[in-house]
């Protein structure tokens, strides 16, 4: 009787031990899965905000020298969607760009050449569907050209360093400038302030 009980206790103890070890293994596997998922999410977020410029020898956030690069070279260097807006003066669809709702503090750079263009402090919530600013970073950040295409009289905004098309400027913005720099997200690159 004692032997039978002893065996039963041993079997039950052995089962408990195995279940305990299995649970421990499952916990370790879960922890590894969570870490992998977190790493992938972080990488995905970085990819969303950071663009790879290794193929672009003209990209610099500090060099202010004006660029003279042929259209053929830009076409080779730039992603197709950036090229279409920056060099072909295209316009992204309203409410589709990655920055039209962004209100994080930081700096907006030219996605083509790295020229600093706008501070987030100058960004305002506009109902137009494109990222909108009431002023550029400085007088040399952007330049302007008359644009009489599509049956309209508008003022085009171009990057002061690389002459890429960024968008247009209108006189219906908020104080203090009452101007609205209506920009295409795809030609901007946002860098959040470091905490």
Among 78, 136, 142, 159, indicate the residue that binds Fe ion (CB under 5 A): 159
Active site (catalytic) residues? 182
Beta bridge partners of 6: none
Least distance (Å) between residue 114 CB and Fe ion: 7
Cβ atoms of 164 and 112 closer than 8 Å: yes
Residue 169 class from Cβ within 10 Å (0-12 exposed, 13-18 middle, 19+ buried)? Answer: buried
Residue closer to Fe ion, measured from CB, 140 or 174? 140
Q: What is the DSSP string of 159-171?
A: ETTT--EEEEEES
Least distance (Å) between residue 86 CB and Fe ion: 8
186 binds Fe ion (CB under 5 A): no
Phi and psi, residue 69, nearest 5°: -125, 135
Least distance (Å) between residue 190 CB and Fe ion: 15
Least distance (Å) between residue 150 CB and Fe ion: 23
In which element (H, E) is residue 40 found? helix 2-49
Residue closer to Fe ion, measured from CB, 122 or 159? 159
Q: Which stretch binds Fe ion (CB under 5 A): 14-22, 31-39, 132-140, 157-165?
A: 157-165
Which residues ranging from 109 to 138 are in contact with Fe ion (CB under 5 A)? Answer: 110, 112-113, 115
Which residues ranging from 74 to 113 are in contact with Fe ion (CB under 5 A)? Answer: 110, 112-113
Instruction: Compute CA 127 distance to the chain's CA centroid, rounded to the nearest angstrom.
Output: 20
Q: What is the 3-state secondary structure (H, E, C) of 139-153?
A: CCCEEEEEECHHHCC
Instruction: Write out the residues near Fe ion by the rule CB under 5 A.
Output: 110, 112-113, 115, 159, 161-162, 164
């Amino acid at each position: 009787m004692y032997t039978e009980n002893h065996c039963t206790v041993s079997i039950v103890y052995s089962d408990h031990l195995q279940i305990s070890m299995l649970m421990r293994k499952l916990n370790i596997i879960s922890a590894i899965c969570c870490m992998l998922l977190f790493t992938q999410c972080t990488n995905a977020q970085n990819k969303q905000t950071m663009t790879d410029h290794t193929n672009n020898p003209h990209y610099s956030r500090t060099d202010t020298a004006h660029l003279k690069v042929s259209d053929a070279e830009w076409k080779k260097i730039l992603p197709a969607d950036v090229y279409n807006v920056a060099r072909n003066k295209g316009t992204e669809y309203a409410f589709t760009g990655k920055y039209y709702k962004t209100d994080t503090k930081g700096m907006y750079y030219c996605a083509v050449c790295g020229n600093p263009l706008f501070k987030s402090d100058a960004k305002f919530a506009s109902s137009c569907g494109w990222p909108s600013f009431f002023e550029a970073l400085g007088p040399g950040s952007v330049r302007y050209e008359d644009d009489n295409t599509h049956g309209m009289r508008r003022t085009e905004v171009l990057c002061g360093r690389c002459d890429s098309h960024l968008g247009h400027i209108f006189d219906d913005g908020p104080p203090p400038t009452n101007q609205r720099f209506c920009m295409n997200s795809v030609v901007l690159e946002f860098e959040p302030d470091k905490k």
